[in-house]
């Protein structure tokens, strides 16, 4: 399995991103009485419970992070894990009041461009000439999937857009992009197990503070026992724990600028899931352009995996090595 992930690392990043989108199947059962932040903090708490033993066993490994490594992990936990979701949700909420959904979605798609620039600045990654047209095709493919019903809706939304909607969406994109790049950086010092554990455990206090600020102590009183089984537990295990473990394992063998293209499978998968009937989806129609866009993106991901240069050496150590 390790050899398979090493060989098809970009593809496995895309698989992990697809698993992230599966939370829609369970999240739709919770949004009637829980806010997005309340859902995220419960998910994070459950995953943290699973991963506390990992941190205990890998405590000696964490010393290898150093100051820059801890800064990278802190940015991932507070930014990509906690604040990015809150910013995106806020952007979408304001956009919905003015019927400008496309503004949020199109600006959030700047994420791969930001990640590529950060990978160049932070990690010194340089791509071969064929990467750029492939990345362009991937961006067009995702555009086709997201805006198949009205290809010009982003133009209209941006022309009549609101500044706060755009800033919030760009902020979320920048934080998610930084999560990819700094995650790649941190994986040079710690195992993918430890990286996953740190992401969730360090994000939990941030999320708790956000809930307290938004709703006070009463914000933790809206949960029901039926929320945890199966919905919150399923979100924690599948798009949470399993997806992030697979993601960081694959990222350890993938340049960040290639991984960010693989992550574009997430909005495509989320859009296709929306075509499912309620309560799992929104029964949205499936357009031929969405099928074509999906095929194009899959083709780009396979192509980049096939042509990728060997990633800089990163040790993706198994959990057993971290035992003290």
pLDDT value, residue 182: 95
pLDDT surpasses 50 at 322: no
pLDDT band, very low/low/confident/very high, at 316 (cuts 50, 70, 90): very low
pLDDT value, residue 99: 64
Residues 6+ apart with CB under 8 A from 275: 281, 282, 283, 284, 285, 286
pLDDT band, very low/low/confident/very high, at 315 (cuts 50, 70, 90): very low
Selection from 110, 114, 72, 127 nearest residue 255 by Cα: 127
| Tens digits of residue pLDDT in 127-161 | 888 899 999 999 999 999 888 888 887 777 666 66
Burial of 54-87, coded b for 16+ CB within 10 Å and e otherwise, reads bbebbeebbeebeeebeebbebbbbbbbbbbbbb
pLDDT value, residue 16: 96
pLDDT surpasses 90 at 318: no
* Whether 86 contacts 203, CB under 8 Å: no
pLDDT surpasses 50 at 317: no
Q: What gap in Å lies between CA 37 and CA 165, rounded to an integer?
A: 18
Question: How confident is the model over 270-277, as a mean pLDDT?
Answer: 80
State the pTM of this model.
0.89
Q: What gap in Å lies between CA 88 and CA 181, rounded to an integer?
A: 19
Q: Measured in Å, how far apart are the chain's first and last C-alpha atoms?
A: 26
| Tens digits of residue pLDDT in 77-88 | 999 988 888 888
Tokens found for residue 69: 């490594």
pLDDT surpasses 90 at 10: yes
Measured CA distances, 25 to 84, 281, 287 (Å): 21, 7, 21
Question: How confident is the model over 223-251, as a mean pLDDT?
Answer: 91
What average pLDDT does the structure give for the chain?
85
Question: How confident is the model over 200-209, as a mean pLDDT?
Answer: 93
What region does 219 belong to: left with phi over 0, alpha with psi -120 to 50, or beta?
alpha
Q: What gap in Å lies between CA 72 and CA 104, rounded to an integer?
A: 26
Question: How confident is the model over 98-121, as a mean pLDDT?
Answer: 82
pLDDT surpasses 80 at 23: yes
Tokens found for residue 154: 């982003």
* Whether 148 contacts 290, CB under 8 Å: yes
Tokens found for residue 66: 């150093």
Q: What gap in Å lies between CA 36 and CA 21, rounded to an integer?
A: 15
Element (H, E) at 212: helix 192-215
Please count the other Cβ atoms lying within 10 Å of the Cβ belonging to residue 306: 10
Q: Is residue 221 packed enough to be buried (19+ CB in 10 Å), middle (13-18) or exposed (0-12)?
A: exposed
* Whether 23 contacts 237, CB under 8 Å: no
The percentage of residues in the chain with a pLDDT greater than 90, rounded to a whole number, is 47
Instruction: Decide which of 24 and 4 is more confident.
Output: 4
Q: Where are the alpha helices (DSSP H) in 8-130?
A: 9-21, 23-27, 36-57, 66-75, 84-97, 101-108, 111-122
């Amino acid at each position: 399995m390790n050899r398979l992930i090493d060989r098809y690392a970009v593809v496995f990043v895309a698989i992990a991103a697809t698993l992230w989108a599966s939370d829609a199947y369970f999240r739709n059962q919770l949004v009637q009485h829980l806010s997005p932040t309340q859902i995220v903090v419960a998910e994070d708490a459950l995953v943290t419970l699973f991963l506390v033993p990992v941190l205990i066993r890998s405590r000696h490994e964490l010393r290898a992070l150093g100051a820059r490594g801890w800064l990278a992990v802190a940015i991932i936990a507070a930014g990509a894990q906690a604040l990015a979701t809150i910013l995106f949700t806020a952007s979408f909420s304001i956009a919905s009041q003015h019927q400008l959904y496309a503004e949020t979605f199109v600006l959030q798609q700047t994420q791969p461009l930001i990640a590529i620039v950060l990978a160049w600045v932070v990690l010194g990654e340089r791509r071969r000439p064929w990467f750029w047209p492939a990345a362009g095709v991937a961006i067009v493919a995702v555009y086709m999937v997201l805006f198949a019903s009205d290809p010009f809706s982003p133009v209209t939304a941006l022309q009549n857009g609101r500044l706060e909607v755009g800033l919030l969406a760009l902020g979320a994109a920048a934080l998610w992009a930084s999560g990819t790049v700094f995650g790649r950086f941190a994986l040079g010092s710690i195992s993918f197990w430890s990286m996953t554990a740190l992401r969730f455990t360090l994000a939990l206090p941030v999320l708790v503070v956000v809930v307290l600020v938004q709703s006070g102590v009463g914000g933790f009183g809206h949960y029901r026992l039926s929320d945890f089984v199966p919905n919150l537990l399923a979100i924690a295990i599948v798009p949470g724990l399993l997806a992030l473990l697979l993601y960081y394992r694959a990222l350890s063998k993938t340049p960040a600028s290639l991984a960010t293209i693989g992550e574009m499978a997430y909005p495509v998968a989320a859009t296709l899931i929306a075509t499912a009937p309620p309560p799992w989806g929104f029964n949205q129609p499936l357009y031929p352009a969405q099928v074509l866009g999906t095929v194009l993106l899959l083709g780009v991901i396979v192509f980049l995996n096939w042509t990728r240069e060997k990633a800089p050496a990163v040790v993706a150590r198994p959990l057993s090595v971290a035992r003290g």
